[in-house]
Amino acid sequence: MAGLFFLLLMVGCKSSQKVATVERGETKAHADFFDSMQEQAFRFHTLSARMQIELTMQGKEMSSRVDLKMVKDSAFHLSIQPLLNIELFRIELNRDSIRIIDRMNKRYVAESYANLKGQIPVTFNFYNLQSLFINHIFLPGEQQIDPSRYNRFRLNQEGRMAEANVKDPMGLLYTFKVDGEEKLLSTHITNASETYAVQWDYSNFRINEGQPFPMLMHVGLWGDGISKGDIKMHFNRIQTNIPVQVGISIPGSSYKRITFAEILKAFSSSR
């Protein structure tokens, strides 16, 4: 899970109207609930966003500007610019691989997800990570939620909010909390013994190009009931369906290729 959290961490605005959280009304049938979730999902072909990230880990605080560019169901990359808008890291994830450029230390990672199997012990894929960034509910390890798979979720609509729960083949539990308009408010991922967890919260919903989008995302990592770190993503610009370019060129001989495991080890030892 530490590997997953590392991925998440390293990973022109119009005036917008704030959208309130809505309490639930009458209980909906199981299929109707998920049909509504699909209808309310944020729609786009391309997405370009600028955000300010605040990272807290073991008492240390860091902040950085991050530019996000995404082509739906194809690829997205994050440009991390902590100093004077100078890019120090670039991360690209596509459907089958990850690339990380560390400009400061002149090194790079280029690995397929198949090679990462075992380093990140979850049934998790590109489409699931994409869903976290765009406030979508998802099925672990799958590209989309077909209506025939709604029955994989257990739905509880008691009280002010609804919860949809699903387990992956490795026993991790995914809990999605939803308000009365089927807006996703949080995604919680934990193992069976609840010794570690990732909590991804969505708030400050505003209308962007006719659709509600959470302008604040707060991600927390928990282990043995103790906070291991968190990150706040403050979006200040969202644009959809404009031309974007994604892709990372492999650096020349001046850069050293390292493995994903090596960059995780270096990241852990620097904390």
Residue 227: what pLDDT? 87
Q: Residues 10-66: pLDDT tens digits? A: 433 334 456 655 555 567 899 999 999 999 899 999 999 999 999 888 778 889 999
Residue 259: what pLDDT? 87
Distance CA 29, CA 14 (A): 37
Residue 212: what pLDDT? 93
Residue 12: what pLDDT? 31
- Which CATH number is 77's domain given? 2.50.20.10
Residue 77: what pLDDT? 92
Structural domain containing residue 145: 2-269
Distance CA 201, CA 182 (A): 15
Residue 21: what pLDDT? 56
Residue 25: what pLDDT? 56
Per-residue pLDDT tens listing for the chain (271 residues): 333 444 544 433 334 456 655 555 567 899 999 999 999 899 999 999 999 999 888 778 889 999 999 999 999 999 999 887 889 889 999 999 999 999 989 999 998 888 777 665 556 689 999 999 999 999 998 999 999 999 999 999 987 889 999 999 888 899 999 998 889 999 999 988 888 899 999 999 999 888 999 999 999 988 888 888 899 999 998 999 999 988 888 778 899 999 887 876 665 555 4
The count of structural domains within the chain is 1
Q: What's the pTM value of the predicted model, to 2 decimals?
A: 0.87
Residue 22: what pLDDT? 53
Residue 54: what pLDDT? 94
